[in-house]
Amino acid sequence: MSISISSAAAEHITRCLQERGQGEGLRVKIKPSGCSGFSYVLDFADRVEANDAVFEAHGVKIIVDRDSLPMMDGTEVDYVTEGLNRYFRFNNPKVKDECGCGESFSV
């Protein structure tokens, strides 16, 4: 199982953790939601739980619970700027379809 982190995502995560003044890394979870089936839930993790898998690159950690891990295997976490919009993009090879608004996906 692997998850990679782009340098742009690592820089953003580092900046956010510094502003918070604490945290182990970015927690990513997949939950049933939306019109296509699943969505990503993001939060900053202050600790690593026993059920977590940790992926580290560029000095930052992506923390994923083991239930979400099979759907995220091979994903690259990126951070993109498009015009005035900035957001995390998940380049997930397991995604088969996305809803029109981009909020949910199916595997």
Q: What is the pLDDT confidence band of residue 38, given thresholds at 50, 70 and 90?
A: confident
Rounded CA-CA distance 13/46 in Å is: 13
Contact 66, 2 (CB under 8 A): no
Q: What is the pLDDT confidence band of residue 94, given thresholds at 50, 70 and 90?
A: confident
Residue ranges and CATH numbers for the domains of the chain are 3-95 (2.60.300.12)
Task: Find, among 24, 93, 9, 14, the residue nearest to 63 by Cα.
Answer: 24
**pLDDT (tens digit per residue) in 64-80:** 999 999 999 999 999 99
**CA distance to 62, 76, 82, 105, per residue, from 10 (Å):** 9, 11, 18, 24
Pick 10 or 102 by higher pLDDT.
10
* Lookup: tokens for 62: 């992506």
pTM attached to this predicted model: 0.84
